Amino acid sequence: MSDQQQNRARLHREYDRVWGNWPGWGALAAVNHTSVGLRFIVTGLVFFLIGGVLSMLMRTQLALPEQDIIGPELYNQLFTMHGTLMMFLFAIPVLEGVAMYLIPKMIGARDLPFPRVGAMGYYCYLFGGLIILSSMALSIAPDSGWFMYTPLSSSTYSPGPGSDFWLLGITFVEISSVSGAIELLVAIMRTRSNGMSLTRMPIFCWYIMVMALMIIVGFPPLILASILLELERAAGFVFFEVAGGGDPLLWQHLFWLFGHPEVYISFLPAAGIVSTLLPVFAQRPIVGYRWLVLAVITMGFISFGLWVHHMFTVGIPQLAQAFFSLASMLVAIPTAIQIFAWLATLWTGRVVWSLPMLWILGFLIIFVAGGLTGVMLALVPFNWQVHDTHFVVAHMHYVLVGGMLFPLIAGLYYWLPHVSGRMPSELLGRWAFWLVFVGFNMTFLLMHVTGLLGMPRRIYTYQAGLGWDWLNLLSSIGGFVMAMGVGMLIVDLLLHFRFGRLAPRNPWNADTLEWAVDMPVTTYNFISLPDIGSRHPLWDDRQLPERLESGQGGLVEIQADRRVTWGSDAVTGQVREVVHVPSNSWLPLQTGVLLAVVCLGLLTKFYWVALGASLLALLVILRWSWHNGGHPLAAPLRDDDPQDPPLHSRTCDGPGRWGMLSTLLANGSLFACLLFGWFYFWTVSPQWQVPAQAPLSATPLLLAGLLLSAAALLYHRLTVRLCRGQAQGLAGGLWLCTALGLGHSLVILWLMLDAQLTPRSLAHDAVLAVMLGYLLFHGVLATLLTLLQALRVRLGYVGVRLPYEPMVLRPLWSYTLGVFWIALAGFFLMPMAW
Which parts of 315-344 interact with other proteins (CB under 8 A)?
315, 318, 321-322, 325-326, 329-330, 332-333, 335-344
Pick the piece of the chain touching other proteins (CB under 8 A) from 451-459, 529-537, 576-584, 769-777.
451-459
Q: Scanning residues 154 to 193, which ones bind other proteins (CB under 8 A)?
A: 156-157
Q: Scanning residues 226 to 245, which ones bind other proteins (CB under 8 A)?
A: 242
Q: How far is the CB of 381 from other proteins (least distance, A)?
A: 5
Contacts for 539-548: CB closer than 8 Å, 24+ residues apart: 539/511, 544/516, 545/505, 545/506, 545/515, 545/516, 545/517, 548/516
Nearest to 654 by CA among 559, 739, 570, 551: 570
**586: CB partners within 8 A, 6+ apart:** 28, 29
Report the run of H or E that residue 642 belongs to, with start and end: none
Pick the piece of the chain touching other proteins (CB under 8 A) from 366-374, 424-432, 438-446, 498-506.
366-374
For other proteins, the closer of residues 281 and 804 by Cβ is 281
Question: How far apart are alpha carbons 365 and 356 in whole angstroms?
Answer: 15
Amino acid identity of residue 56, one-letter, is M
**463: CB partners within 8 A, 6+ apart:** 65, 66
Question: How far apart are alpha carbons 472 and 444 in whole angstroms?
Answer: 10
**For residue 720, what are the CA distances in angstroms to 707, 725, 758?**
20, 9, 44
Say whether residue 5 binds other proteins (CB under 8 A). no
**For residue 185, what are the CA distances in angstroms to 23, 214, 297, 325, 401?**
31, 10, 14, 31, 26
* 7 SS3 class: helix
Provide DSSP, 583-638.
-S-SHHHHHHHHHHHHHHHHHTT-HHHHHHHHHHHHHHHHHHHHSSTTSTTS----
For other proteins, the closer of residues 164 and 247 by Cβ is 247
Which position among 48, 462, 524, 681 is part of the footprint of other proteins (CB under 8 A)? 462
For other proteins, the closer of residues 687 and 726 by Cβ is 687
Q: How far is the CB of 341 from other proteins (least distance, A)?
A: 6
Q: How far is the CB of 694 from other proteins (least distance, A)?
A: 25
For other proteins, the closer of residues 26 and 72 by Cβ is 72
User: Pairing between strand 575-581 and 563-568?
Assistant: antiparallel
Q: Scanning residues 368 to 407, which ones bind other proteins (CB under 8 A)?
A: 368-369, 372-373, 375-376, 379-382, 384-385, 387-389
Q: Scanning residues 622 to 641, which ones bind other proteins (CB under 8 A)?
A: none
**391: CB partners within 8 A, 6+ apart:** 373, 447, 448, 450, 451, 452
Q: How far is the CB of 334 from other proteins (least distance, A)?
A: 8
**For residue 148, what are the CA distances in angstroms to 145, 453, 534?**
5, 26, 48
Q: How far is the CB of 77 from other proteins (least distance, A)?
A: 11
Q: How far is the CB of 241 from other proteins (least distance, A)?
A: 8
Q: How far is the CB of 532 from other proteins (least distance, A)?
A: 22
Say whether residue 347 binds other proteins (CB under 8 A). yes
Which position among 26, 159, 456, 467 is part of the footprint of other proteins (CB under 8 A)? 456
Say whether residue 454 binds other proteins (CB under 8 A). yes
Q: Scanning residues 66 to 85, which ones bind other proteins (CB under 8 A)?
A: 72-73, 76
The CB-side HSE value for 598 (13 A sphere, CA atoms) comes to 20
Q: Scanning residues 682 to 721, which ones bind other proteins (CB under 8 A)?
A: 686-687
What proportions of the chain, in percent to the nearest 5, are helix, strand and coil? 70, 5, 25
Q: How far is the CB of 290 from other proteins (least distance, A)?
A: 10
Question: How far apart are alpha carbons 528 and 543 in whole angstroms?
Answer: 14
629 and 797 Cβ atoms separated by less than 8 Å? yes
Nearest to 775 by CA among 689, 685, 681, 700: 700
Count, residues near other proteins per rule CB under 8 A = 77
Say whether residue 151 binds other proteins (CB under 8 A). yes
For other proteins, the closer of residues 251 and 827 by Cβ is 251
Q: How far is the CB of 157 from other proteins (least distance, A)?
A: 5
Q: Scanning residues 756 to 775, which ones bind other proteins (CB under 8 A)?
A: none
Pick the piece of the chain touching other proteins (CB under 8 A) from 143-151, 194-202, 690-698, 777-785.
143-151
Q: Scanning residues 726 to 755, which ones bind other proteins (CB under 8 A)?
A: none
For other proteins, the closer of residues 29 and 377 by Cβ is 377
